[in-house]
Structure 1
Amino acid sequence: MTTLNKLYKLSRQIALSLIKEEDPKELKETDLFEQKYKDYIFENINSPEKRRQRQLLAQQVNKKRAWKNVQKAIGVAKPPIWKYVAAAVIVLGTLFYFAQYNSVGKIETTVASGKPAIAPGTDKATLLLGNGQTIVLGNGNTYKGNGVAANDKSVTYSDNNASIEYNYLTIPRAGQFSLLLADGTKVRLNSETQLKFPNRFIDGKPRFVELVYGEAFFEVSPSTAHKGAHFNVKTKGQNVEVLGTQFNIKAYKDEENLITTLKEGKVVIDYAAIKEQLSPGEQSVVNVMASSLRITPANLDRELAWLDGQFVFDNLTLKDIVKVLSRWYDVEFIIKGETIKNEKFKGQFSKNQNLEVILELIKTTNQIKSYEIKEKTVIFK
């Protein structure tokens, strides 16, 4: 068999293995090749460490998502032979773009030294009431009183005639939480985030909350339900005015860009005497240092992935990736070497897995020789 034919056959096998979850008609042929494909991948890997890395990768690949992306990339109208060859090339060349959590089960790992693995974040928060009372939420804690009810995952405010007071909901690193405001607006808060908000609103008067820092997704109760009162979110000198919509704001303390992404509806961005209106699928990027504002198309899958418990790294540098990971896993990162700081990575992972799984995959796909974990610090070498 010629080399070209071998490549074609391998390409077909790979493509068929991807089809498995999409096209039941191909199951029989796929099963015939499945073991050969696995043997081919592992037959020349003698290093136990390399085998372990490949096994981690194999468990991470979501074949259904991969095949959909392959179809999109090559087009369904291409001749059959090119469909399989192109599929293999795309998969082999950009496999980590499709890497993500396998829903069958979570991959468990431990640090080589035998220390416990670094687990993902959980639902937790601290609520500061207007009277100065501090309530720790999550981890089985519940609270009820003063028009407030909280369980393990969320806190709910009910409208009442109490005097208006401002409360603070603070999400620590390795945390997340949900909030239902008294007007019916839903807010989901990411790790390392703080929101300031009133315990109640007055119909007919503007509704204001403040994202002090961090990231939050808002599903706003429409103004028509509140005598025309618009909803406003203030953040670092920016005001977002909405009628009733769904949008995300990212305003972390260690990032100079303030990003507002619109999923549905309409919002008006007001920053430094500049006003811009967003349409669904757009985002505003405010550079706080330069006091500039620009509107760009938004990648909703990437920007809103955290709502579905995912990390999506799309051509992101290692130094930016570790910012995201540090917030969710509550660890510090040290990158030794200027070159690897700017190494770029594409991948999609579940947030519901130990940090070591993601570190192994990053190490496999980038020019990173090794990493070391000391207590709550990860050192890339």
Structure 2
Amino acid sequence: MSGQAQSPAKPPPELSTSDASGTVSAVAGTLNGLPEDPQMTPLAPPRSTPPSKIPLRPRKIQKLSSDNLKPSMTNLSASAPKPPSSKKNRADARRSSSDALAVVIPRVAARSLSCEGEVETALRHLCAVDPLLVPLIEVHPPPNFDTFHSPFLALTKSILYQQLAYKAGTSIYSRFVALCGGEHGVVPEAVLSLNPQQLRQIGISGRKASYLHDLARKYQNGILSDSSIVNMDDKSLFTMLTMVNGIGSWSVHMFMIFSLHRPDVLPINDLGVRKGVQMLYGLEELPKPSQMDHLCEKWRPYRSVASWYLWRLSEAKGGPSGVASAMAATGVSVQHHQHQLQQPLPPPTEEQQQQLVDPINSILNLGYSEFHFSS
């Protein structure tokens, strides 16, 4: 064999990709101490994927500072309202803000006129809101609201005095009270026990007798009561009392002022008050009842006291004089007020007698009981 020529060495066969993969696996297994698995299936060649494109210049990472977290002033300026740029705009802004505040500010809360110091508070308010009332308030002493009777007695008295002169009404009322056994005996049951014939004998007409019985029945049926009348608001009270036969709006207004001492009642149908408004404001014509609320709006919440001074003004100028005479029934001296009048009072006309004068003005003597009623 040594003499034979040696054939050139054959180059190692080229390995395919699959053979190379198997070889690599075998080598790896040998290196790991594992025998080569002759049955090992060569791994499939990896799928070719396009190479990822790496940017030549990497993006810079922007760090957020605390300033970047603040909202953009440009965006804020676009959404936020611009401040007033002129004096006119600033004035409008102040006016709008003051209007908003005006809605929140409450009105003056008035109490019963019989409360201590309430009449003085009313006079200060009226002088502040209407300077034309100042001379009247300075000339005449303040009114007194210090008489007290039960609402039922007061309403009964208002019916008895209707369409009667003060003297005649007082005479009939005295006989009626005696028939009931005194003022404390004027109660619904006692009134219903008196028949029309008994009432006619003391000067009460059949119509007024029916009015008295209707009022007493509404008390007996629970529609009205002293406690409910005292606790009702003005609007509800007006509605309920005008349901009674013989009691109209004028009678209710007088009852509310001089019996319940309500502070903000305006007798729009009263001739003396309407005449006083005409003279106070120099109107050419007597204001209509429908105009009274608008003309007297500024006096709220003390229109009852303002009405009292309009009666004084009307009397001083020769107008209806019933209120002055009726004040004697309240326990207030007539001379105390009459000496202030500028001229003697003429006899009232027929129209004045129907609307103001002596008849129902004696309601000034009506006051609610000083006992506290509870509903």
Give me the TM-score of the superposition, normalised by structure 2.
Answer: 0.28
Of structures 1 and 2, the larger Rg is shown by 2
Q: Larger helix proportion, structure 1 or 2? A: 2
Higher relative contact order (Cα pairs below 8 Å, separated by 6+ residues): 2
Higher strand content, 1 or 2: 1
